[in-house]
């Protein structure tokens, strides 16, 4: 398996030279553009890694999958989806276009920025407690007690996050968000700035593949109904406005982030973490997508 992973990375490594690093969060533009790594964690407990699998990157939008589960645990399905929709947008992840057009006004789904900010605003905890609950949840899911935020990326996001800020204030105006908007934004910027490796991301995948139970400890951290919901959103909205093409070519529930990471889940089988910071024009790892496509074809991993 490790040899196969290495071959797939070698075959696609040239792709990292194309694509771009995101500049709208200035700190992300300092990433190593040509890094490429993968980690596959199986339910059997075996783990296979290749390339730059120890390269650290910020989790960014991949965090939206985990915060959705936490918000569902705190509020239940009816409450969460009274404020966030279930449909893909076909627009960019940070688009605000449909927020005002759609009536009643609510973000389309929890995987776009507006929806994810609304979801984060619903997570319980006063002051520092809300982010600390999120951080603890990540630590338990990954089995990595050292996960923490990348302070420089967090500050960079906070300084430049005016588009997210605009959407959050708009959502409070229309009643989607209640309470302190800046506090919710701060938690959102922090969750996006969590620093991880492919191994951590593969463990998140494994937890989802195992329907909410961490295989290593046997501990149930989430209701299987909620992990099922999260995986379904990964299929329909996880790869931004390239989710349809990705479902056809790869067929594995996945969520990407502008840090270059991709979280993938083969239900009942494995969790996969991939990193390649060079992004295509839709914000997905340009080499990461091809790596997953090759892996899916070789191991017949498509769920369809």
Show which residues are catalytic. 61, 64, 188, 240, 258
Closest separation between CB of residue 39 and ligand GLU, Å? Answer: 19
Question: Shortest Cβ distance from residue 231 to ligand GLU (Å)?
Answer: 18
120 vs 296, beta carbon nearer ligand GLU = 120
| Cβ-based nearer residue to ligand GLU, 48 or 93 | 93
DSSP the chain: -HHHHHHHHHHHGGGGGSSB---SSGGGGGS-TT--EEEEEETTS-EEEEESTT--EE-GGGHHHHHHHHHHHHH-HHHHHHHS-----SS-TT--HHHHHSSS---S-TTSHHHHHHHHHTS--STHHHHHHHHHHHHHHHT-TT-EE-HHHHHHHHHH-HHHHHHHHHHHHTTSS-S-HHHHHHHHHHHHTEEE-HHHHHHHHHHHHTTTEETTTTEE-S-HHHHHHHHHHHHHHTTGGGHHHHHHHT-S-EEE-TTSEEEEEETTTEEEEEE---B-TTSSBHHHHHHHHHHHHHHT----
Give yes or no for residue 289 binding ligand GLU (CB under 6 A). Answer: no
Q: Which of 251, 283, 289, 291 binds ligand GLU (CB under 6 A)?
A: 283
Assess 264 for contact with ligand GLU (CB under 6 A). no
Contacts with ligand GLU in 117-176 (CB under 6 A)? 157, 164
Confirm or reject binding of residue 42 to ligand GLU (CB under 6 A): no
Q: Residue 178 is encoded by which pair of tokens?
A: 């209640």
- Name the minimum Å distance from CB 189 to ligand GLU: 7
Do 288 and 302 meet the contact criterion of CB atoms below 8 Å apart?
no
Record the tokens describing residue 266, joined without a space: 């083969």
When asked if residue 60 is in the footprint of ligand GLU (CB under 6 A), the reply is yes
What x-and-dash track marks residues 175-194 binding ligand GLU by CB under 6 A?
A: -----------------x--
Distance CA 39, CA 262 (A): 11
Binding residue for ligand GLU (CB under 6 A) from 167, 258, 289, 291? 258
Looking at beta carbons only, is 94 or 148 nearer to ligand GLU? Answer: 94
- Rounded to a whole number of angstroms, the minimum distance from the CB of residue 195 to ligand GLU is 13
Total residues interacting with ligand GLU, rule: CB under 6 A: 11
Q: Which is nearer to ligand GLU, 231 or 255 (CB)?
A: 255
| Among 57, 93, 108, 246, interactor with ligand GLU by CB under 6 A | 93
Instruction: Look up residue 255 and give its two tokens.
Output: 């969520």
Closer residue to ligand GLU, CB minimum distance, 11 or 159:
159
CB of 134 to ligand GLU, least distance (A): 14
Q: Which residues make up the interface to ligand GLU (CB under 6 A)?
A: 60-61, 93-94, 113, 157, 164, 192, 257-258, 283
């Amino acid at each position: 398996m490790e040899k196969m992973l290495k071959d797939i990375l070698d075959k696609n490594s040239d792709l990292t030279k194309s694509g771009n690093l995101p500049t709208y969060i200035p700190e992300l533009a300092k990433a190593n553009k040509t890094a490429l790594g993968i980690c596959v964690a199986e339910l059997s407990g075996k783990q296979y890694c290749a390339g730059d699998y120890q390269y650290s990157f910020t989790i960014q939008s991949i965090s939206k999958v985990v915060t959705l589960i936490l918000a569902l645990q705190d509020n239940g399905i009816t409450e969460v989806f009274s404020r966030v929709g279930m449909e893909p947008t076909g627009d960019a992840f940070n688009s605000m276009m449909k927020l005002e057009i759609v009536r009643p006004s609510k973000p389309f789904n929890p995987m776009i920025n507006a929806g994810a900010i609304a979801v984060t605003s619903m997570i319980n905890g006063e002051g520092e407690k809300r982010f600390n609950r999120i951080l603890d949840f990540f630590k338990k899911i990954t089995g990595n007690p050292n996960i923490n935020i990348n302070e420089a990326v967090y500050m960079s996001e906070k300084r430049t996050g005016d588009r997210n800020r605009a959407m959050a204030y708009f959502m409070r105006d229309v009643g989607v968000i209640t309470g302190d908007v800046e506090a919710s934004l701060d938690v959102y910027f922090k969750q996006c700035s969590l620093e991880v490796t492919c191994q951590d991301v593969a463990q998140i995948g494994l937890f989802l593949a195992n329907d909410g139970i961490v295989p290593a400890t046997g501990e149930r951290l989430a209701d299987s109904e909620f992990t099922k919901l999260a995986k379904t959103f990964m299929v329909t909205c996880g790869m931004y406005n390239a989710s349809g093409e990705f479902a056809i070519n790869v067929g594995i529930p996945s969520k990407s982030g502008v840090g270059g990471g991709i979280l993938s889940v083969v239900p009942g089988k494995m969790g996969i973490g991939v990193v390649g910071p060079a992004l295509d024009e839709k914000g997905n790892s340009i080499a990461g997508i091809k790596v997953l496509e090759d892996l899916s074809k070789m191991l017949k991993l498509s769920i369809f």
